[in-house]
Amino acid sequence: MITDIGFYFKLLSRRFPAMAALLLLCACIGVVVALRLPTTYESSATLLVESAQISSDAVRATTQVDASEQLEVIQQRLLTRANLLDIARTARIFPNQSTMNPDVVVNHMRKKTKIRRASGRDKATLMTVGFEGTNPQKVAAVVNQYVNLVLEANSDFRTARAEGTLEFFEQEVDTLSQNLDAQSAKIVEFKRQNADALPENLDYRLNRQSLLQERLARAERDLEALQTQRTSIQRIYESTGRLETIANVPLTPEQERLRALEGQLRVSLSIYSETNPKVRLLRSQINALKQQMTDLPGAEGAGETPTQVTALDVSLTEIDARLQALRQEIATTNAELAKLQDSIDRTPANRIALNAMERDQDNMQALYSAAVQRMSQARMGERIELSAKGERITVLEPANVPNSPSGPNRAGIAGMGVFAGLGLAGGLFVLLELLNQTIRRPSEITRALEITPLAVIPRYETAADRRRRRILQLATIGVVITVVPTVLWAIDTYYMPLDQLFEKIVGGLI
């Protein structure tokens, strides 16, 4: 074990110049980059998502959006290409922006912009917007522009959403109102076309049907009785040649007409009431005929003219008049009963159709009422958003011009160069050891040839060999000391500034 340590120590001392060259190279690069990196400043502003000033129990806001989700949307809108280019041009972040590639500007702005969000259960929702640059005034200006964009985006987002919600419900209410009016007109038209067969007057029609059926039965009985009476009168007259009474009363045509009208009146009164138009017409005719007979000359002595008149014609006339009236009544009643029966038969189908239309109307009315209520809520929500009484984003801590730089960490960068040199030196030592396959120790002879050597004769270094080795080491160190600064200067001058190259390398590693 001690022999191995001594062997590796000799190897380390032999390869130390190359390892030292790598260490010096990386250390120099780290120091140069640390010194060349420009001083950076960082400014930030803190935003707070405030709760609505009006309680949700009093009015329900139409813009129901989670605060974290809203901040995520605002962040994506904030870092759009157009916004970043406009902010960079306004704040003059790049002196020669007009000649730069827009993609480079956008990538640089996004890289230098830092946005952090903090939220949690029973915790306030915060958003920190920061920017890093070389000019403190420009850094603060960029952050302030970011804040203005966030506030405008929040206001526009909530206002547009509230207005869009209100517009939607206004259109919905208008559409439902038109549908409701059309459905009401449809129901009215259906009732007009089926006015005689509607469910609401079915009881009246059933009662009317019962009344007409009773009247029809009574009229048929009266008709049958009158027909029997007429037949009986004719049979008696044909058998005896006379009726029970024969009146030798001379009657004028007016008197015969009067008796016939009075007979029709008696028949009508047995069927209709005094207010019936037919009864009134008969009474008017009788009164007019009586007035006419009164005005005729010799009306008082007309009854004394001897004329043979039988009661058969009078009786048959009265019976025929009553029979005609009864037949007309029966026909009218049958027609009305048929019409009633048809309307009663159509009532169930009309009830089903009407119930379906009224059910649709009730559903439309419910939708319309709900839409009107939501429209009122949307209108109230719009007023809340326009008056800035709802949930909003406010500036908790504005951006200030930084007084002290935030970076870079020059000591850390230089230390990174030293550690990188140590790592490369160690890697070089291990790599050379792995690539070297020569036999240098007795143990290696035993392991390679599987034999045990009796003795080992070391290689003796002459003075010339030692002098040549030292010259080579000094030359290597001199080359490193000369070439490394030259290469760094050439890269910084002709290719890319070392600070930008370092940032690019670090960005690629990250």
pLDDT, tens only, 237-295? 777 665 554 444 445 567 677 778 877 877 777 777 777 778 788 888 888 877 776 66
Q: CA 102, 105, 108: angle at the middle one, nearest 5?
A: 150
pLDDT category of residue 129 using cuts at 50, 70 and 90: very high
- Between 65-69, 97-101, 189-193, 435-439, the lowest mean confidence (pLDDT) is in 435-439
Q: DSSP H helical segments within 197-302, as ranges?
A: 202-240, 253-271, 277-295
Assess contact for 226 and 320: CB atoms under 8 A.
no
Q: Tell me the one-letter amino acid at 302.
A: A
Residues 259 and 311: their CA atoms lie apart, in Å, by 11
Closest CA to 378 of 164, 172, 166, 155: 166
Residue 96: band (very low, low, confident or very high) from pLDDT cuts 50, 70, 90: confident
Phi then psi for residue 114, to 5 deg, are -125, 120
Q: Answer whether residue 225 shows pLDDT above 80.
A: yes
pLDDT at residue 144, as a whole number:
92
| CA pair distance 109, 42, nearest whole angstrom | 13
Do the beta carbons of residue 416 and residue 30 sit within 8 Å? yes
Reported for 458-466, long-range contacts at CB under 8 A and 24+ positions apart, including other chains, are none
Closest CA to 64 of 394, 381, 393: 381
What number of other Cβ atoms are within 10 A of residue 485's Cβ? 14
The torsion defined by the Cα of 72, 74, 75 and 80, in degrees rounded to 10, comes to 130
pLDDT at 307: 34
**If you average pLDDT over each of 56-60, 234-238, 375-379, 385-389, which comes out highest?**
375-379
Q: How does DSSP classify residue 297?
A: T
Which pLDDT score, from 0 to 100, does residue 366 have? 94
Crossing angle of helices 2-36 and 498-509, rounded to 10°:
120
What pLDDT shows up at residue 55?
55
**pLDDT of res. 437:** 64
With contact defined as beta carbons under 8 Å apart, do 48 and 393 qualify? yes
Percentage of the chain beyond pLDDT 90 is 17
Comparison of pLDDT for 235 and 7, the residue scoring more: 235
Question: 105 versus 306: which is more confidently predicted?
Answer: 105
The pLDDT confidence band at residue 507, using thresholds 50, 70 and 90, is low
User: Based on the number of CB atoms within 10 Å of its own CB, is 197 exposed (0-12), middle (13-18) or buried (19 or more)?
Assistant: buried
Supply the Cα-derived Rg of the chain in whole angstroms: 61
Question: Residue 176's pLDDT is what?
Answer: 93
- Residue 360: left if φ>0, alpha if ψ -120 to 50, beta else—which one? alpha
Residue 93, pLDDT > 80, answer: yes
pLDDT of residue 32: 74
Measured CA to CA, the distance from residue 180 to residue 108 in angstroms comes to 59
Mean pLDDT across the stretch 65-70? Answer: 74
For 226-237, what is the mean pLDDT? 81
Q: What is the pLDDT of residue 249?
A: 43
Averaged confidence pLDDT in the chain: 79
- Whether 61 shows a pLDDT value over 60: the answer reads no
The band of 443, judged by pLDDT with boundaries at 50, 70 and 90, is: low
Residues 6+ apart with CB under 8 A from 272: 278, 279
DSSP code string of 191-225: HHHTGGG-GGGHHHHHHHHHHHHHHHHHHHHHHHH
Of all residues in the chain, what percent are helix, strand and coil, respectively (each to 5)? 75, 5, 20
pLDDT for residue 351? 92
Mean pLDDT of 413-424: 84
What is the spatial order of strands in the sheet that 392-397 belongs to? 113-118, 126-133, 41-50, 392-397
> What is the 3-class SS of 146-163, one letter each residue?
HHHHHHHHHHHHHHHHHH
**pLDDT confidence of residue 290:** 77
Q: Which residues are paired to 395 by β-bridges?
A: 47
What does each C-alpha distance from 467 to 462, 464, 474 come to in angstroms?
A: 9, 5, 11
Q: How far is CA 234 from the centre of its chain?
A: 92
Residue 46: beta bridge partners?
Answer: 128, 397
* Token duo for residue 283: 């009474």
pLDDT at 480: 67
- Residue-level pLDDT at 425: 80
Rounded Cα distance between 314 and 256, Å, is 8
Lowest mean pLDDT among 101-105, 214-218, 499-503: 499-503
Write out pLDDT tens, residues 451-490.
776 666 666 667 887 788 778 777 877 776 777 678 777 8
Question: Which pLDDT tens digit goes with each residue over 296-325?
Answer: 554 444 443 333 345 677 777 888 888 898
Write out the two tokens for 95: 């002196």
Instruction: For the chain, give the percent of residues with pLDDT over 70.
Output: 78
Identify the weakest region by mean pLDDT among 285-289, 426-430, 503-507: 503-507
pLDDT score at 246: 40
Q: 103-107, 253-257, 489-493: which range is least confident on average?
A: 253-257
Report the pLDDT value the prediction gives residue 296, as an integer from 0 to 100: 55
- 388-410: average pLDDT: 79
How confident is the model over 329-358, as pLDDT tens digits?
Answer: 899 999 999 999 999 999 999 999 999 999
Band (pLDDT 50/70/90 cuts) for residue 95 is: confident
**pLDDT, tens digit, for every residue of 3-13?**
567 666 777 77
- Please name the helix (run of DSSP H) or strand (run of DSSP E) that holds residue 301, with its range, or none: none
What is the pLDDT, as a whole number, of residue 8? 67
Round to whole Å and give the CA distance between 308 and 246.
8
Q: Which of 14-23, 107-116, 390-399 has the lowest mean pLDDT?
A: 14-23
- Both tokens of 502, joined, read 């370092």
d(CA 87, CA 216): 99
Q: What is the pLDDT of residue 309?
A: 41
pLDDT of residue 64: 58
